[in-house]
Amino acid sequence: MPLSTEEQVLEVAKLLRHANHVFVITGAGCSADSGLPTYRGFGGIYHNKLTEDGMPIESALSGSMFQTRPEITWKYLAEIERGARGASPNAAHKTLALMEQEFERFWILTQNVDGFHSAAGSKNVIEIHGNMYRLHCTSCDFQKKQADYTDIKIPPQCPLCDATLRPNIVLFEESLPEKEINILYRETRIPFDLVLSIGTSSYFPYISEPIWHAQQTGIPTVEINPSETAVSHLVDFKIELGAADCLSAIWAQYQSQN
């Protein structure tokens, strides 16, 4: 008989109790309780729809579009940022930051570009798709942190050389950042005791691979996601809850065991 949600929460807390090295993968579902909208996938603003410029959102947010028509890319970046404005880290981010302080080695691999893990206090974060609030010039060495996009002129220009600024994010068609990839490879070469996937469809190979590798080598795996994903059939525990509620429950059980 399958375990109930409550029983799975208890079992995961026990796994954490005996772990020293923990690896966490997060996606959009981790920020959902902060009120951030989704733009792709079922229920997203652009699910099976084109943008008002008559193109898929993937085309608008592509490297080639930014090269030829940066105003289009910036238009939709600003729309995404506007939907997230005023949001803040939720209980999921805060719980993961508390977990980092508890374990000998604790790393988060995130696809999110909202910067919420760092804002919540996590230090060991691999922002594999970048951070939308860090801007840099496409021609010179100018860079800055941006609180939000309220006063940004679309597309923004560099104050030093007048070239176009862009956020430090990975657009469609672009390569992943070498620095983040190197950190990911460095850390995953050393075995973890537990791997958790939280709020991600695990569509990209570099997101699903840690779960697959853990499953192959006998390392316990956990997925926290209300939906079925590319790794649901692989994990030892599949908890169909939202990230904030589930992590809060697991952490409460963990603390009660101390």
Which residues are 21's β-sheet partners?
A: 105
Q: What is the CATH number of the domain that holds 233?
A: 3.40.50.1220
By annotation, the residues acting in catalysis are 129
CA dihedral 14, 205, 30, 109 (to 10 degrees): 70
Number of domains in the chain: 2
Domain of 46, in residue numbers: 37-86+133-169
Q: What is the C-alpha separation between 162 and 125, in angstroms, rounded?
A: 32
The conformational region for residue 142 under phi > 0 = left, psi -120 to 50 = alpha, else beta, is beta
On whether the CB atoms of residues 61 and 76 are closer than 8 A, the answer is yes
- Convert 166-181 to b/e letters by CB count within 10 Å (16 or more is b): bbbbbbbeeeebeebe
Let me know whether 137 and 248 are in one domain. Answer: no
Angle CA 112–236–205, to nearest 5: 40
Let me know whether 140 and 228 are in one domain. Answer: no
Give the closest residue to 72 by CA, choosing from 85, 86, 58.
58
Let me know whether 158 and 210 are in one domain. Answer: no
Let me know whether 120 and 146 are in one domain. Answer: no
Q: What is the C-alpha separation between 23 and 14, in angstroms, rounded?
A: 16
Let me know whether 10 and 80 are in one domain. Answer: no
Q: What is the C-alpha separation between 55 and 60, in angstroms, rounded?
A: 7
Report the pLDDT value the prediction gives residue 64, as an integer from 0 to 100: 97
Report the pLDDT value the prediction gives residue 30, as an integer from 0 to 100: 95
Let me know whether 31 and 42 are in one domain. Answer: no
Let me know whether 182 and 227 are in one domain. Answer: yes
Q: What is the CATH number of the domain that holds 158?
A: 3.30.1600.10
Report the pLDDT value the prediction gives residue 42, as an integer from 0 to 100: 43
Residue-wise pLDDT tens for the chain (258 aa)? Answer: 789 999 999 999 999 999 999 999 999 999 999 988 655 544 455 555 788 889 988 899 999 999 999 999 999 999 889 888 889 999 999 999 999 999 999 999 999 999 999 999 999 999 999 999 999 999 999 999 999 999 899 999 999 999 999 999 999 999 999 999 999 999 999 999 999 999 999 999 999 999 999 999 999 999 999 999 999 999 999 999 999 999 999 999 999 976
Let me know whether 159 and 226 are in one domain. Answer: no
Let me know whether 73 and 139 are in one domain. Answer: yes
Let me know whether 120 and 159 are in one domain. Answer: no
Q: Which of 115, 145, 169 is the last residue of a domain?
A: 169
- Give the global pTM: 0.93
